Homo-oligomer: A and B are copies of this chain.
Amino acid sequence: MSTELLLYDYWRSSACYRVRIALNLKGLGCTLRPVHLLKDGGEQHADAYRERNPQEVVPTLVDGQLVVRQSLAIIEYLDETRPLQPLLPPVPRDRAHVRGLAQLVACDIHPLNNLRVMHYLDRELGVAQDARERWTRHWMEEGFRAFEAILAADAAPGEFCHGDTPGLADACLVPQVYNANRFGVDLAPYPMIRAINERCLALPAFEAASPERQAGAA
């Protein structure tokens, strides 16, 4: 597994941010190639990129001849092919817990709030900006309430989402908290989420992955 990794990336994309965290936690070198989602009508719609990713979304990982799409699939692929610094625990029951938390974010919060959805609400449904922002906050608050309750019910809580090592669930949570802050979500009701987020942001792997640290950040 010595091929060079290439990630098609956008600094503000929550899904890309997850993958950058995962790469850093695993200590993997990777070339980041920016795909600007807003410039020139969206570089993700260009023919050359569409061939890599017919969904015209980021991220896309290229590993030699292999193209991997979808942030969680990318992270699991990295974890399976580069097993050092695992992002998933070894036992199935713990893996299920971590995947459940990751998917709570990746399937039930983030898809409702990304750029293409905001565009549709605006351009096709004529939803005003304040109502779009309420929509965004609503799904984050619903998701965080459940995420916090699951953390609180954990019989063996640790420093991070699972145990004392950051992993897949943390790589999903931190970008979502970043988005929540952008949209003014009140995080007071979620003390465990806040504490985990703070511990993560204090780590170089998370800090170096943050949107503002990326090339092209506005």
Assess whether A93 is interfacial by the CB under 8 Å rule: yes
CB pair A100 B68 closer than 8 Å = yes
Residues of A with Cβ closer than 8 Å to B? 54-57, 66, 68-70, 72-74, 76-77, 80-81, 92-93, 95-97, 99-100, 102-104, 106-108, 110-112, 117, 120-121, 124-125, 127, 131, 134-135, 138, 142-143, 145-146, 149-150, 153
> B66, B72, B107, B149: which contacts A111 (Cβ < 8 A)?
B107
CB pair B69 A100 closer than 8 Å = yes
Q: Identify whether the interface residues of A are mostly helix, strand, loop, or mixed.
A: helix
A65 to B55, CA, bound (A): 39
CB distance from A65 to the nearest CB of B (A): 9
- Show 12 A/B contacts (Cβ-Cβ < 8 Å), sorted by A: A54-B149, A66-B93, A68-B97, A69-B100, A72-B103, A73-B102, A76-B99, A77-B95, A103-B106, A107-B107, A111-B111, A124-B134
A54 to B145, CA, bound (A): 8
